Structure 1
């Protein structure tokens, strides 16, 4: 006789409800799903692939909150007529040609495999781990639907953004909630909050700095923590992102034992005519060089995986601005990616959010 779980499902995996009629449709065993969610990636670097991706991204009103009647003509007729070419060139410079995909996709897959291995060791087959992208593929909707079909009656949705912003965390969660709207039997959904002050996340950042510094002949004059920018008015409207970034850098500095002037906070990736959070990284690194701080290291704590904003923008454009202003040595410290210490942090957060469900 099969063992009956508290939720009424036969275990392990009979595929039938306890005491159900013989002709009852098969029902998969109850599981808990975990979805790691990241920003997204184009499917390829050609014009039309880039245009589809950028159109989805820049049409999101969490990202660009102008009225649609005003923004869409600008986007469709001006921005998307040119930007896919420049963005495609940037992606081609970092593209994983072996797998024909962006580094973000490669790294997110590696992170997912590492987290899945750890959770399987702790909880067996009761936990299903997958990843989704807010823009591009695999879409959040497709992953939520796949998990529901696999018997995930509960899902922990984990946006891989340590610092909360409406333009990143909130829109990722929006996509998950919209996916539930299309399901007749909706799983329960938990969203993971920002983890900008998570001790193991700070520890992973600190170890990455220590590892990078240990390999240098000369200690950098400054560590620049470069975060993705946001319009300044978002802060005035209540977005906590700026405060989260500042706190992450302060905690990192304290963990490293660095002086206050050794860690610099800056913001990159401006878009449009508005004033964005300052200082701008590209200008700040030039200022540092001109002030005589000609040896710097740069890291991007807001990015859980290396992507075009780090591999191309920081390691090429921002590096060039620093050297052109008189800088002598520029060290880019990679994102945490699938490093074991990063996986430790992600699993610690997930175990906390899974409490009561496993």
Structure 2
């Protein structure tokens, strides 16, 4: 079968990683996959080095409203041309821009679109009520038009139904899984740019330094927790993004820089991850974060915000409820003011680091989900929709 996989961009996000893995899976199964990237260029990402068929629609996103409109029209015609050339049996897309283009593009191919975030929270940044109404109506129209909508978690599906009025029958829940055996092998590789001290218990976070990931909350919570410890703990933040400098400066203002390490994104984060005593996801929202599937494969306890930790990973809701806190401040805040939700996170971190019984409960409650944590199951579910 011939596939076109469509995505907004290829950087370091979860959706991009799924697309790359799915491309190789399809190729190994004897299919003919082709990738269409809305924005980017050859050599931009290391993940595309061994991709044979990839087309870029534009080099970068336009900021000007008129130019942005022209760009979207251009992308539509470029995708239409690619569809005409490839004649795909399936068009599979990731993220909202790609989903919209896929849905409106003329083709008799089976169309599958995927939603990777809780959209009602993602679009809280839209302050103009008229613009917000238009966006919401577009989302409702597009996902009701396509009968094959993949939601990466239950909360993503519930949000599409409750907030946007998407028909239940259109939505399939397929969690993001990983190749856990490969992760365990890569986790044994040697680290060259950092030394994990054996006497320290390390708290870790991996993700883009952005509004969504909200690492400033973690820094403040860690600073509060650190005041009540003997200092034998450390915080490791791995990633890059627009807030790298702001977060580093905040660590200094909070006087925790001696206990906090910022590491650049690494193509093998697992060799660092395996040294973590606790993983904390401070994101204001997530769909189904792949990093948690990776952490789970290494059997590391994790906790985070209510909208970031998927409930279906736990076999007991009461355990899930003990692993989450509600993010009450959604706007970025690089001041030293510690809000109530950050105080709640500090208490949660203390429990996650020091309470062995609690840590064991997390691992036991996620053991059943972990048994099916294999990329093959995820992609076989994709295949069942594509038939």
Using structure 2 for the length normalisation, give the TM-score: 0.36
Q: Radius of gyration: which is bigger?
A: 1
